[in-house]
Structure 1
Amino acid sequence: MRDAVASLRTGAGRYECGIWLGDLPAAKRISFLDRLVVERLDRKCRDVLNVLERCGGDWAQALYTMLFRAMGGNRNRESYIDLASRATYQMVLRERGDIELVEALLLGTAGMLEGCYFDDYIARLHDHYLYLARKYGIVPMRAGEWARAGIRAQNRPVTRIVQLASFVARNDFIFDRVAGCRTREDVHALFDTEVSGYWATHYVPDGSGERCPRRIGAEKADLLAINAVVPVMFAYGQTTGKGALKDAAFDLLGDIPAENNAIVRSWSGMGVPVRSALDSQALLQLRNEYCTRGRCTDCKVGKSIIKVRDKAFSFR
């Protein structure tokens, strides 16, 4: 057994377990992966409940925070969470009748309007923000808290914040709408809001030029579903005892394409079929929680491989 474990740990960095997973009968492989995705959802559920506690038990604010967190990606995640805590969902609800006020609230709180009063639209947003900051006692972030270098244009903070402004201003009862998502089409319809006209040609305030994305794209909407919509649905279902909502969250993952990242591509390259986000989330769980930590003897996949290898060794 010791040799089998050592061999597994050595091969973990090269995704060698993928060869075994890929060769399994489909039903058994799906069973393994489904267990892993439930583990991942349980972990994400704990993340949501931690956010909920910081939000004083307010599910709408917790969802709002999770959406901001998911919009940020890895490099700006904490900055987006900070923004959501300073410019809260309750503030947005009070101002959502005017998209300019919501843009001013979010961009100003993010520190994105300081020193940018060179055209009429941005000057107006800045004036709106000064009023809102006094009204709500907002302490703004510093622009330097946001990572920008090496981030693709469509993922720049200003672009994503403006898209968030459009989404939260033009959707009332966002918690109910999120909890009602059952298909990928529902998710795309939820996030299909168009930014105001100024931002169609501006990636940054007063920086006109290239045509900019008017909507959250399909790929980003899928990631928001995977990292915010599904975890919040699952956590709310678990907390309230609504098992049907947990099942709906699980099924929604099955309707969303798999993520396209280095880890998922590596598993696929070793022969593991990746059908949907259910599989990609399971494989991320396998890699991050077991393979990289050398936890082969805690892993159901690892245990099965060790059992097979020990049995083969005993017949020599």
Structure 2
Amino acid sequence: MKVNPLLNEALLQYIWQHGMFDQRNLASTAGDSLEIISPGLLNPHAGPDFSAAKIKIGGILWAGNVEIHLRSSDWHKHRHQRDPRYHNIILHVVVIHDDPSVMPAVPCIQLDGRIANLLLQRYQLLQQEQVFIPCEKVCRQVPSIIWQHWKERLLLERWQRKTATMQRWLQQSQYDWDAVCYRAIAQAAGVPVNSIAFEQLAQLADYKLLHRYSHNLHEVEALLFGQAGMLHAPMEDEYGRSLQLTFRYLQHKHQLQHSMPVHIWKWLRMRPHSFPTQRIAALAMFVHKHPRVFSQVIAIQDIRELETLFEMEVSEYWTSHYRFNIKAKKPHHHVGKTMVQNVLINTVLPLIFLYGQTHADAVLQERALQFALLLPPEKNSYMAQWAQIGQAAQTALDSQALLELRERFCLQKKCLQCEVGAKIMKG
């Protein structure tokens, strides 16, 4: 007997977990009647596939671990007989029982003929599609309530990943929330192409140093542009030369021995408002105007007030220049709304949520989620593709969740761990 080539152990685990097989007149391979009270809890770590299962075999209720294999002979192939963690199995679940010598004292159930071909075909379709997302041809059939519930979970998972980094920063800064907020804002200022460069800049021009000079915008600009490696070239105007002199003084005073190589910054295929110089100038102005901003962030209860707080201006020179020594054709005063939105979505809301978690403040956690529902979605090529398949993002919560879904599930073909994929599998 051969196992259906569409089956694999991950799918078989999913089928067992959700009872997606014919459960009428179940019996062990020894002929004992069998009833599944509970399939158990899936174990994502080493050891038996399921724990805390409850199975009634021959009228006797058993509780314990369940192991899943395509063939019973896989027990030996995986060397479970040498692993003490597998010595207390109450049930061996297989598709084909091809080796009766495997753990003869442990009941075994064979699922061959009990798994519908339609289920396997649905799974094959999801795994083989080479498109934007595996289920794009059928995802419209999934009820909106499932999509919404799943997107809320996805957003929280995305924030958990983002805040894991912020938690490390908190420990490094001895729980200085303003320092972490500055570092996170700096990283968000570079989204999408210069985020790594901005994070490096935030380390070289750290918060403690900038806060010391936050009362003087010119000195903050000198530190940021200097540490960014942008003050080495000859300057044609008084502003640039003055920044160079100020930075040399501060560099010597604080023994700043390292600055970034200028080639690390990316400029191509970018609107002038997104140039690194514009973003650095806006970051300098923000530090100057809001040296201790985090207390304001967690106090604000209105999303419009939060947006206003993060409206970023630039100093006079940068209203008429996009790069050093090159005058712009038209003056401008604010960095684009895109940067403000990126900072709020990728930094401020996760940080509010983390603060709420850290201090067991459910109100702040809920406020962060509500703000994500009130902010508009991000605009990028991925959101355009989601819209084409019937899942247009309406809010920032939607766009962040859809980014997480594609990155962490769709591209990795984790359809069985996806609520939308699960609904499609169940039909």
Aligned position for 1:46:
164
3-state SS in 2 of match to 1:294: coil
1:164 alignment partner in structure 2: 283
Cα distance change, pair 104–286 in 1 and its aligned pair in 2 (3 A)? same
State the TM-score, normalized to the length of structure 1: 0.90
Partner of 1:72: 190
**Amino acid aligned to 1:266:** Q
Among 255, 259, 269, the residue aligned to 2:378: 259
2:151 alignment partner in structure 1: 33
Verify the 8 A CA contact 2:273 2:336 in the aligned structure 1. no
Task: Give the Cα separation in 2 of the matches to 1:157 and 1:212.
Answer: 18
**Matching of residue 293 in structure 1 with residue 412 in structure 2:** yes
Task: Give the alignment of 1:202-281 within 5 angstroms.
Answer: 202-281=321-400
- For residues 74 and 94 of structure 1, the distance between their equivalents in structure 2, rounded to whole angstroms, comes to 29
2: CA distance, partners of 1:58 / 1:16: 43
Contact 1:96 1:102 in 2 (8 A): yes
Determine helix, strand or coil for the equivalent of 2:155: helix
Q: Is the 8 A contact 1:110 1:142 kept in 2?
A: yes
Once the two structures are TM-superposed, the CA of residue 260 in structure 1 deviates from its matched residue by 1.2
Map of 1:94 onto structure 2: 212
Deviation at 1:142, TM superposition (A): 1.9
Q: Which has the larger radius of gyration?
A: 2
For 1:189, the equivalent position in structure 2 comes to 308
- Where structure 1 has 5 or more consecutive residues not aligned to the other structure, the ranges are 309-316
What is the distance in 2 between the residues matched to 1:47 and 1:206? Answer: 37
Q: TM-score, normalized by length of structure 2?
A: 0.68
Deviation at 1:266, TM superposition (A): 1.3
Structure 1 residues 285 and 98: alpha-carbon distance in aligned structure 2, compared to 1, 3 A threshold: same
TM superposition shift of 1:159 = 1.0
**Which whole-Å CA distance do the structure 1 matches of 2:415 and 2:146 have between them?**
19
- Alignment partner of 1:283 out of 402, 411, 415: 402
Give, as a single letter, the amino acid of the residue that structure 1 aligns with 2:358.
T
Give me the whole-angstrom Cα distance separating, in 1, the residues matched to 2:260 and 2:170: 22
Aligned to 1:121: 239
Q: Is the 8 A contact 1:19 1:272 kept in 2?
A: no
Shift of 1:19: 5.5
Amino acid corresponding to residue 283 of structure 1 in structure 2: L
More strand by share: 2
1:245 partner amino acid: L
1:83 lines up with 2:201 in the alignment: yes
Report the more deviating stretch, 75-84 or 176-185.
176-185
Number of the residue aligned with 2:78: none
Task: Tell me which residue corresponds to 1:311.
Answer: none
Cα displacement string for residues 36-94 of structure 1 (whole angstroms, at most 9, x for unaligned residues):
22222222222322333344433221111111111111322121111111111122221
Q: Is the 8 A contact 2:169 2:180 kept in 1?
A: yes
Name the structure where helix makes up a greater proportion of residues: 1
Unaligned runs of 5+ in 2: 1-118
What fraction of aligned residue pairs are identical, expressed as a percent? 30
Separation in 2 of the partners of 1:301 and 1:113?
A: 51
Write the deviation string for residues 108-162 of structure 1: whole angstroms up to 9, x where unpaired: 1111111233211111111111111122222222212212233322111111100
Q: In the comparison of the two structures, how many residue pairs are matched?
A: 308
The secondary structure found in structure 2 opposite 1:272 is coil
Shift of 1:187: 3.0
Residue range with higher mean Cα deviation, 153-162 or 202-211: 202-211
Are 2:147 and 2:420, in contact at CA under 8 Å, matched by a contact in 1? no
- Tell me, in whole angstroms, the C-alpha distance in 1 between the residues paired with 2:331 and 2:209: 27
Distance 1:212 1:222, change over 3 A: same
Residue 175 (structure 2) aligns with: 57
Distance 1:244 1:161 in 2: 33
- How far apart, CA to CA, are the structure 2 residues paired with 1:231 and 1:12? 33
Which shows bigger deviation, 17-26 or 89-98? Answer: 17-26
Greater RCO, 1 or 2 (C-alpha within 8 Å, sep 6+): 1
For the 8 Å contact 2:265–2:276, the answer to whether it is kept is yes
CA distance in 1, matches of 2:252, 2:180: 25
Change (3 A) 1:200 1:273: closer
Query: Which shows bigger deviation, 58-67 or 171-180?
Result: 171-180
SS in structure 2 of the partner of residue 173 of structure 1 = coil
Aligned residue among 178, 189, 195 for 2:297: 178
- Separation in structure 2 between the aligned mates of residue 261 and residue 98 of structure 1, nearest angstrom: 37
Of the three residues 251, 257, 270, the one matched with 1:133 is 251
CA distance in 1, matches of 2:327, 2:381: 34
The answer on whether the counterparts of 1:70 and 1:228 sit within 8 Å (CA) in structure 2 is yes
Superposed CA RMSD in Å reads 1.9
